[in-house]
């Protein structure tokens, strides 16, 4: 399951970051998910919920931000923002658009509690 390995690697990354910052508790993780990753947010949330209880993050909440895709049409050069997988240029109907964003899955923010 793709989402399971993403969830566990996000948790590992967050644990390492929390450790670096000397956090005693992690309240939440914010993760930006590009729509072109093909990640299903509900599945990622479920996998995270199951994996996080066995980690040092305990009850840290997962907050997902869905990032739309931007793509440029190779035929007419127009840049468009997409909220689904249909990368067809609305200006000229061209296909084979080049994605400029929307392909990443990034831990963007952590809400931490630091001792002292
Ligand atoms: Zn076009």
pLDDT tens figures, 36-56: 998 999 999 999 999 999 999
Q: 77 — alpha (psi -120 to 50), left (phi > 0) or beta?
A: left
Torsion sign, CA atoms 70, 72, 76, 77: positive
What is the 8-class DSSP label of residue 55? Answer: S
Tell me how far the alpha carbon of residue 99 lies from the centroid of ligand 1, in angstroms: 13
Tell me how far the alpha carbon of residue 40 lies from the centroid of ligand 1, in angstroms: 28
Tell me how far the alpha carbon of residue 73 lies from the centroid of ligand 1, in angstroms: 5
- Is residue 105 helix, strand or coil? strand
pTM metric for this prediction: 0.84
What residues contact residue 2 under an 8 Å CB cut-off, 6+ apart? 38, 39
Per-residue model confidence as pLDDT tens digits over 66-108? 999 999 999 999 999 988 777 899 999 999 999 999 999 999 9
């Amino acid at each position: 399951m793709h989402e399971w390995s993403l969830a566990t690697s996000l948790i590992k990354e967050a644990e390492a970051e929390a450790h670096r910052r000397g956090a005693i508790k992690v309240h939440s993780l914010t993760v930006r998910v590009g729509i072109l990753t093909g990640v299903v947010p509900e599945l990622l949330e479920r996998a995270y919920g199951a994996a996080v209880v066995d980690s040092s993050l305990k009850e840290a909440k997962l907050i997902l931000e869905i990032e739309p895709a931007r793509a440029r049409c190779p035929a007419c050069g127009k840049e468009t923002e997409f909220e689904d997988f249909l990368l067809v240029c609305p200006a000229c109907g061209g296909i084979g658009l080049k994605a400029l964003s929307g392909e990443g899955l990034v831990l963007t923010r952590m809400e931490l509690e630091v001792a002292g």
